[in-house]
Structure 1
């Protein structure tokens, strides 16, 4: 069943009841990482194993994303700050339980070259949905870690 979620803004990324966040070090520059995240949306399928389709929509103001597990997201971009931050909220999904969802990617330069990437996954919903999200934290972390390794390899290969 497809349903509309509560629209949230950037403040939700700091106030959501569940906000797992993960970091990774990449050898790629912040510029290259940002471009892969925000500008090459269809390219997500090459490096983020959970993603089977990612399409920019509404002249780049949103994205339609499909995951291997059958979940679909219609998203609105909340922030696209060149080479530092990319954030979006989910407007419509078939994922059960959740009432609001936003994600944020922070990218910062690392001394000596490379980048540090932090991904925050902010969720609200009834207690059962929040418990499932908390329990999914190790899986989200594995997915993120694998995606960042694959992204770094993809960017190194050109």
Structure 2
């Protein structure tokens, strides 16, 4: 059953009870990475294997995302500062336990490439927070795989 989460802003990414932060340097330029994140929503499943479908709403201020296993998110973009920051909060989900969730993608130029930093920020009851912290390694692997695949995809263009 889908349920509405607490509305949070960009500041939640820094103050959430659970913050999982991952970073990786890739060869693609920040502008190309930003376009893939913010403008090519439908392309996410091609490089982020956990995502089975993604589509932007008509105005571009939100997205609907489906993950493997059936988890669904309806999101609102809270920051779109090309080519440095792309962030969104989850407004509605069928994922259990979560009360608030936001993600931030921060892009920093490194030579001709990009340092990609992903922050996964969440709140929920104590058992949810414990499980999420235990999932850190798996989320880290998913992030590294996704960013590596994105870099390969952008190099092929």
Name the TM-score, length of structure 1 as normaliser. 0.98
Q: 1:80: which partner in 2? A: 80
Aligned-pair RMSD on alpha carbons?
A: 0.6
User: Which 4+ runs in 1 deviate beyond 4 A?
Assistant: none
Q: Which runs of 5+ in 2 are unaligned?
A: none
2:18 maps to 1:18: yes
Alpha-carbon distance, 1:58 to partner: 4.2
Classify the secondary structure of the residue corresponding to 1:60. coil
Counterpart of 1:95 in structure 2 is 95
Q: What does residue 70 of structure 2 align with?
A: 70
Structure 1 CA distance, aligned partners of 2:89 and 2:154?
A: 26
Q: Structure 1: state its 5+ residue gaps.
A: none
Give the equivalent residue in structure 1 for 2:48: 48
Provide the rounded CA distance (Å) in 2 between the counterparts of 1:114 and 1:9.
29
**Offset at residue 70 of structure 1 (A):** 1.1
C-alpha distance in structure 1 between counterparts of 2:140 and 2:126, whole Å: 21
